[in-house]
Amino acid sequence: MLKSNSTRFAAALLAALASFVAGSTAAPPAAPQHHDQAPGFYRLKVGDLEVTALFDGTGVFDPHWLNGTKATMDGVQQALQGDPHVLDVADTGFLVNTGKQLILVDVGAGTWWGGGAFGRLAGSLRSAGYTPDEVNIVLVTHLHSDHVGGLTSPDGKRVFPQADVYVAKAESDFWLSPAIAAKAPKDAQPFFESAQAIAAPYIKAGKWHTFSGSEPIVDGMELVPLSGHTPGHTGYEFSSKGQKVLFWGDIVHALRVQLQRPEVTVVFDIDQTAAAATRHQLLTRLAREDVLIAGPHMNFPALGRLRKERSEYSWAPVVFTDQWDKQARSPQQ
Ligand SMILES: [Zn+2]
């Protein structure tokens, strides 16, 4: 018995060892591919301000939405054949924590533009460590739904229940006017309908405010009228400790076209001539002053600076660093 037991034991031990050795040298099972990204926020400091870009989604700008000379548009089509990402755009909102107030500047599309590709802003806000009911103020550059859709849920509820919303009076008066909407062309109707539905719960709650001049809304923030795209299109420029950040709304949609050719407009510009003139003037100033730019449709994180070489501008995006309090310093400092 003893002998046969020990033989059996030795055989079992050998088998176990063999399977252990075989197991340790076999290739591990193939790792499945993952298709999700990290939480969509990016933070930096501008003086004492904490500025966080909040990802809402990405899309592709239709080349037919651009207005340029035939030569320019042929060039765009040619570029697209070589690189299908030439007209890729992001949709981004921005959070400014002043230390006293939590301020959003534009809030992405929510569910109001283009179906499922957008609407991640509230999740990005949470990933960044804040909740929607902590937001005190929302500043909107204009009332196109890709900038204000995130304000309101599909069933008409305020996503930011404590927030006071600010918009230029000319903007509010235009998009919220039933009389103007009634006379607008059919393909412009959705812009009026979405603006009215998105604004409605804030108006009802007494949280919808308009400005018509340079009224102080937030300490250290200046209103920058940027006429052309829409009747009250407005930028917001924050300054702190000698550093500046401008939230410029829709000054540029197609980064790789309109910086080389600032005269190229988009079909959504209500006043094409004014939109091109505003862009030209603003780009000149921003390249000279080295202001940090927050541009909702620039590639995420939608923050960067302008450089000018001869007659063309180029975009110097922020680069990832966890030294986020040093990121905002310009090279000269
Ligand atoms: Zn836009």
- CA angle (54, 56, 60) in 5-degree steps: 130
Q: What is the mean pLDDT of the chain?
A: 90
Which two three-digit tokens encode residue 138? 């929302």
Using the mean position of ligand 1's atoms as its centre, give its distance from the Cα of residue 229 in Å: 9
Using the mean position of ligand 1's atoms as its centre, give its distance from the Cα of residue 11 in Å: 73
Residue 2 has pLDDT above 90, yes or no: no
Using the mean position of ligand 1's atoms as its centre, give its distance from the Cα of residue 22 in Å: 59
What number is the average pLDDT over the span 27-44? 91
Confidence label for 39 from pLDDT (cuts 50, 70 and 90): confident
Using the mean position of ligand 1's atoms as its centre, give its distance from the Cα of residue 55 in Å: 14
Residue 98 has pLDDT above 90, yes or no: yes
Which residue in this structure is represented by tokens 């600032």? 262
CB 58 within 8 A of CB 88: yes
Using the mean position of ligand 1's atoms as its centre, give its distance from the Cα of residue 227 in Å: 14
Which residue in this structure is represented by tokens 């003086």? 47
List CB contacts of 229: < 8 A, sequence separation 6 or more: 142, 249, 250, 251, 266, 268, 269, 270, 275, 278
Closest by alpha carbon to 130, among 47, 247, 39, 222? 39
pLDDT recorded at residue 331:
44
pLDDT recorded at residue 157:
98
Q: Distance (Å, rounded) from C-alpha 30 to C-alpha 314?
A: 42
Using the mean position of ligand 1's atoms as its centre, give its distance from the Cα of residue 121 in Å: 15
Confidence label for 23 from pLDDT (cuts 50, 70 and 90): low
pLDDT recorded at residue 117:
84
Beta strands 208-211; 164-168: pairing state:
parallel
Using the mean position of ligand 1's atoms as its centre, give its distance from the Cα of residue 252 in Å: 9
Confidence label for 314 from pLDDT (cuts 50, 70 and 90): very high
Which two three-digit tokens encode residue 103? 């301020």
pLDDT recorded at residue 224:
97
Using the mean position of ligand 1's atoms as its centre, give its distance from the Cα of residue 233 in Å: 11
Reading across the β-sheet that carries 102-105, which strands appear in turn?
Answer: 41-46, 49-60, 88-97, 102-105, 137-139, 164-168, 208-211
Confidence label for 322 from pLDDT (cuts 50, 70 and 90): confident
Q: State the virtual CA torsion across 269, 173, 117, 154 in degrees, nearest 10.
A: -160
Is the link from the previous residue into 161 a cis peptide, with omega within 30 of 0?
no
pLDDT recorded at residue 56:
96
pLDDT in tens, 66-93: 999 999 999 999 999 999 999 999 999 9
pLDDT in tens, 258-285: 999 999 999 999 999 999 999 999 999 9
Which residues have CB atoms below 5 A from the ion given as ligand 1? 146, 250
Using the mean position of ligand 1's atoms as its centre, give its distance from the Cα of residue 275 in Å: 13
Using the mean position of ligand 1's atoms as its centre, give its distance from the Cα of residue 98 in Å: 25
Using the mean position of ligand 1's atoms as its centre, give its distance from the Cα of residue 69 in Å: 22
pTM of the model: 0.88
More confident residue, 325 or 271: 271
CB 316 within 8 A of CB 307: yes
Residue 185 has pLDDT above 80, yes or no: yes
Confidence label for 20 from pLDDT (cuts 50, 70 and 90): low
pLDDT recorded at residue 1:
41
What number is the average pLDDT over the span 2-22? 57
Residue positions counted in the chain: 333
Q: Is the dihedral of CA 171, 174, 176, 181 positive or negative?
A: negative
